[in-house]
Chain A
Amino acid sequence: MEKPDLQKLGFKAGIEIHQRLATDEKLFCHCPTRIREDAYAYGTLKRRLRAVAGELGTVDPAAAFEAARRKTFTYQLISENTCLVEQDEEPPRGLNQQALRCGLVMAKMLHAQPMDEVHVMRKTVADGSATSAFQRTALVAMDGHVETSKGIVTIPTVCIEEESSGIVTRVSDEVTYRLDRLGIPLIEIATGPDLQDGAHVQETAEKIGRLLRSTGFVQRGLGTIRQDINVSIADGTRVEIKGAQQLEDLAALAENEALRQHNLLQIAAELKRRGVKNADFANPHGVTRLAFGKPHGVSHHFTHAKAFLSQPIAEGKAVAMAIKLLFTKGLLGKELMPNHRFGTELSGYAKAKAGIKGIIHCDEDPVKYGLTQDDFNNISNELDCIEDDGWAVVVADELTAVRALHAVFDRCYTLEIPKETRKAEGRISTFMRPLPGAARMYPETDVLPAYVSTAEWDALPLPKTADERKADYEKLGLASDMAERLVRSNEWELFDQLAGKTEAKTLAWLLLEVKPALRRAGVDVNQPAERVAALLQLYSEEKITRAALQDLFALASKEPQADLEKMVHTAKLARIRGPALKKLADEWGGNFGEVMKRYRLQVDAGELKGLLEKKK
Chain B
Amino acid sequence: MAYSKAVEALLRKQKIQPGDRIRYSGAKGTLEGILLPKPETTGSDDVLLLKLDNGYNVGLQASGATLENRPGPSAALGQVGAVWKPSIRHNVPKISLVATGGTISTKVDYKTGGVYMLSEPAEILAKVPELADIADIHRIQSPFRKASEDMDGKDWQTLAKTVVDELNSDSQGVVLTHGTDILAYTAAALSFMITDLNKPVAITGAQRSPDRGSFDGALNLIWSAQYAASDCAEVAVVMHGSSSDDFGLCHVGTKCRKMHTSRRDAFQTINAQPWATINGSKASQESERKNDENAVHFLRDDYHRRDNGRKAAADTAFEPKVAHIKPWPGADGRIIDFLVEQKFKGILIEAWALGHVPATSKFSWVPNIQNAIDAGLTVCIASSVLYGKVHPAVYANLRKISATGALYLDDMLPETAWVKLAVALGREKKMEKVEEFMRRNVAHEYNERHQQNDFTGFDDNSQSR
Contacts and interface: CB of A to CB of B under 8 A. Distances in A.
Contacts of A134: 212-213
Given A63-B213, A67-B213, 6 more contacts: A126-B213, A132-B212, A134-B212, A159-B56, A438-B53, A451-B47
A445 B55 contact: no
Interface in B202-230: 207-208, 210-215, 218-219
B447 to A, nearest CB: 29
Contact of B213 (A49, A137, A157, A451): A49
Interface stretch (B104-112, B140-148, B383-391, B412-420): B104-112
25 contacts: A44-B244, A51-B213, A55-B110, A56-B110, A57-B81, A90-B261, A90-B263, A91-B262, A114-B28, A115-B58, A116-B28, A116-B60, A119-B43, A122-B212, A123-B55, A133-B213, A139-B58, A143-B29, A157-B56, A439-B110, A440-B55, A441-B55, A442-B110, A442-B111, A454-B27
Nearest to A91: B262
Contacts of B47: 116-117, 451
A110 B151 CA distance: 53
For the complex of A and B, the 8 pairs showing the least CB-CB separation, nearest first, are A117-B59, A133-B213, A55-B110, A443-B113, A441-B55, A442-B110, A139-B56, A449-B43
A33 B426 CA distance: 57
A46 B212 contact: no
A121 interface: yes
Interface in B43-60: 43-44, 47, 49, 52-60
Given A49-B214, A134-B212, A444 B113 contact: yes
Interface of B: 27-29, 31, 39, 42-44, 47, 49, 52-61, 79-82, 108-113, 115, 127, 207-208, 210-215, 218-219, 243-246, 261-264
Contacts of A91: 262
A123 B55 CA distance: 9
Contacts of B81: 53, 57
Interface string A97-119: 00000000000000001111111
A45 B244 contact: yes
Contact of B111 (A44, A47, A55, A115): A55
B43 A442 contact: no
Interface stretch (A7-15, A81-89, A469-477, A537-545): A81-89
A521 B213 CA distance: 55
A57 B244 contact: no
Nearest to A60: B213
A333 interface: no
A142 interface: yes
Contacts, number: 146
A612 interface: no
Contact of A53 (B29, B42, B80): B80
Contact of A57 (B49, B52, B82, B214): B82
* Residue from the set B52, B112, B212, B245 with the largest chain A CB neighbour count within 10 Å: B212
Interface of A: 44-57, 63, 67, 72, 84, 87-91, 113-119, 121-124, 126, 131-134, 137-139, 142-143, 157, 159, 438-445, 448-449, 451, 454
Contacts of A440: 55
B262 A84 contact: yes
A45 B112 CA distance: 32
A441 B243 contact: no
A143 B115 CA distance: 32
A400 to B, nearest CB: 19
A133 B60 contact: no
A452 to B, nearest CB: 9
A334 B61 CA distance: 56
Contact of B59 (A87, A116, A137): A116
A548 B255 CA distance: 71
A118 B213 contact: no
A49 B244 CA distance: 11
Most interface-central of B31, B39, B79, B211 (chain A CB within 10 A): B211
B28 A132 contact: no
A140 to B, nearest CB: 9
A131 B214 contact: yes
A47 B61 CA distance: 41
A118 B58 CA distance: 6
Given A50-B218, A63-B213, A89 B56 contact: no
A5 B244 CA distance: 54
B69 to A, nearest CB: 21
B57 A121 contact: yes
Contacts of A133: 212-214
B262 A90 contact: yes
Contacts of B115: 445
A432 B49 CA distance: 34
Contacts of A84: 262-263
Q: Which of A45, A50, A91, A126 has the largest number of chain B CB atoms within 10 A?
A: A50
A142 B212 CA distance: 28
A53 B128 CA distance: 11
B215 A445 contact: no
Contacts of A449: 42-43, 59
A134 B212 CA distance: 7
Contacts of A159: 56
B58 A119 contact: yes
Contact of B49 (A119, A142, A143, A438): A119
Contacts of A52: 127, 210-213, 215
A107 to B, nearest CB: 12
Contacts of A57: 79-82
Given A57-B80, A57-B81, A47 B58 contact: no
Nearest to A449: B43
A126 to B, nearest CB: 6
A154 to B, nearest CB: 12
B128 to A, nearest CB: 8
B285 to A, nearest CB: 11
Of the candidates A53, A90, A91, the one having the most CB atoms from chain B within 10 angstroms of its own CB is A53
A547 B47 CA distance: 64
A243 B81 CA distance: 34
Contacts of A439: 110
A119 B29 CA distance: 18
Contact of A87 (B31, B39, B243): B243
B261 to A, nearest CB: 8
